[in-house]
């Protein structure tokens, strides 16, 4: 029986730019994923979520941008649509400090 699993949690405390983000999850099997981003600050914060398919780390034109520099209001959350990852694909996050990320998914 397939179940939705918590796959990763990351609390950002420093500013990072798109392309220099933090890897928060690498798939080991095909999975259907979503990411929840929560703004812990009392002012709007921006963030990006992107995937780097296996073997394309040095080729930004092949990365999958899930969202780019999206503003999120104070103490609110944003959930991505569901997206697929293949083995060795990695999810990266970047943006303002005070964003928490929660990755959940189901094995395909």
Q: Tens digit of pLDDT for each residue in 17-33?
A: 888 999 999 999 999 99
Round to whole Å and give the CA distance between 17 and 105: 25
CATH number of residue 72's parent domain: 2.60.120
Q: What percent of the chain has pLDDT over 90?
A: 80
**88's torsion region: left (phi>0), alpha (psi -120 to 50) or beta?**
left
State how many domains the chain has. Answer: 1
Mean pLDDT, the chain, rounded, equals 93
List the domain range (segments joined by +) for residue 78.
Answer: 5-107
Residues 6+ apart with CB under 8 A from 49: 35, 37, 66, 67, 80, 91, 92, 93, 101
Q: Quick one: pLDDT at residue 1? A: 59
| pLDDT tier for residue 14 given thresholds of 50, 70 and 90 | confident
């Amino acid at each position: 029986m397939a179940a939705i699993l918590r796959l990763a949690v990351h609390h950002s405390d420093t500013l990072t730019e798109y392309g220099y983000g933090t890897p928060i999850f690498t798939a080991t099997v095909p999975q259907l994923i979503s990411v929840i981003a929560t703004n812990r600050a009392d002012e709007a914060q921006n963030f990006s979520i992107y995937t780097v398919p296996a073997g394309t780390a040095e080729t930004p034109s092949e990365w999958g941008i899930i969202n780019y520099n999206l503003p999120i209001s104070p103490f609110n959350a944003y959930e991505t649509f569901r997206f697929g990852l293949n083995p060795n694909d990695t999810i990266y996050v970047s943006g303002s400090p005070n964003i928490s990320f929660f990755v959940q998914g189901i094995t395909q």
